[in-house]
Chains A and B, each alone.
Chain A
Amino acid sequence: GAVVSQHPSWVICKSGTSVKIECRSLDFQATTMFWYRQFPKQSLMLMATSNEGSKATYEQGVEKDKFLINHASLTLSTLTVTSAHPEDSSFYICSAHEGNYGYTFGSGTRLTVV
């Protein structure tokens, strides 16, 4: 089946620094990937849709300058949390769509900003 690899699985960073999260489709090409954010004991909130070779589409209320998305190839999308603050601490999850296997999720990245 389709596999989506997300890295890192856990990152702790200092307030004010930037963190990059990678999402890779390992055995398929994904023209579209999705980034979600999840707070403890809450549901997944769609942040943005990442389109290969074009700008990401952000959901209402998500700051595009804060959460930079780059989808430079058919197998890699990155989410960069810029100038991170403690309120950005969350679980970030990516997913990708592959025609035969549907929507597959990465294992998530737990970001802790101290």
Chain B
Amino acid sequence: GESVGLHLPTLSVQEGDNSIINCAYSNSASDYFIWYKQESGKGPQFIIDIRSNMDKRQGQRVTVLLNKTVKHLSLQIAATQPGDSAVYFCAEKAGSNQFYFGTGTSLTVIP
């Protein structure tokens, strides 16, 4: 694999604040990226994706930023809500169909 899982970093934010979750990817040839949300005991859920020919993409309350120069991806969540508490993973793909997941960040929203 291209990225190896490690113990999850954590992020705590106050309800209503904006959250920024970061991800460093490993393969400079990766051309497609997805952010997933995973709640405890469940499979990952798609949040937003971005292709390497873009540097920013916005969804509902979420924005993904891609910096290919430093191989960095970020997910911004506006007005974070308690329901946003979960583990967030970025995943990268380079041409083939396989996705490789980043370390993940555990987000806790404090009411």
A→B interface (CB under 8 Å): 4, 6, 32, 34, 36, 38-39, 41-46, 49, 59-60, 91, 93, 95, 97, 102-108, 110
Residue of A nearest to B36 (CB): A105
Residues of A contacting B98 with CB < 8 Å?
34, 46, 49
Q: Please measure, in the bound complex, the distance between the C-alpha atom of A46 and the C-alpha atom of B7, giving whole angstroms.
A: 17
Residue of A nearest to B89 (CB): A43
Interface centre among A43, A60, A104 (most CB of B within 10 A): A43
Contact A43 B46 (CB under 8 A): no
Task: Mark contacts of B42-71 with chain A using CB atoms, 8 A cut-off: 1 yes-contact digit, 0 otherwise.
Answer: 111110010000000000000000000000
Task: Mark contacts of B69-111 with chain A using CB atoms, 8 A cut-off: 1 yes-contact digit, 0 otherwise.
Answer: 0000000000000000000010000000111111110100000
Residues of B contacting A106 with CB < 8 Å?
43
Residue of A nearest to B97 (CB): A32
Contact A103 B99 (CB under 8 A): yes
Residues of B contacting A45 with CB < 8 Å?
1, 4-5, 101
Contacts A32-B97, A34-B98, A97-B97; is A43 near B44 (CB within 8 Å)?
no
Candidates A4, A38, A49, A59; contact of B97 at CB < 8 Å: A49
Determine whether B8 belongs to the interface, using a CB cutoff of 8 Å to chain A.
yes
Contact B43 A42 (CB under 8 A): no
Q: Please measure, in the bound complex, the distance between the C-alpha atom of A95 and the C-alpha atom of B46, giving whole angstroms.
A: 11
Task: Mark contacts of B27-43 with chain A using CB atoms, 8 A cut-off: 1 yes-contact digit, 0 otherwise.
Answer: 00000001010000111
Contact A105 B6 (CB under 8 A): no
Other A-B pairs, 4, CB within 8 Å; known A41-B106, A105-B36: A43-B5, A49-B98, A97-B97, A105-B44
Q: Please measure, in the bound complex, the distance between the C-alpha atom of A34 and the C-alpha atom of B1, giving whole angstroms.
A: 13
Contact A108 B97 (CB under 8 A): no
Residue of B nearest to A107 (CB): B43
Contact B101 A44 (CB under 8 A): yes
Residues of B contacting A4 with CB < 8 Å?
43
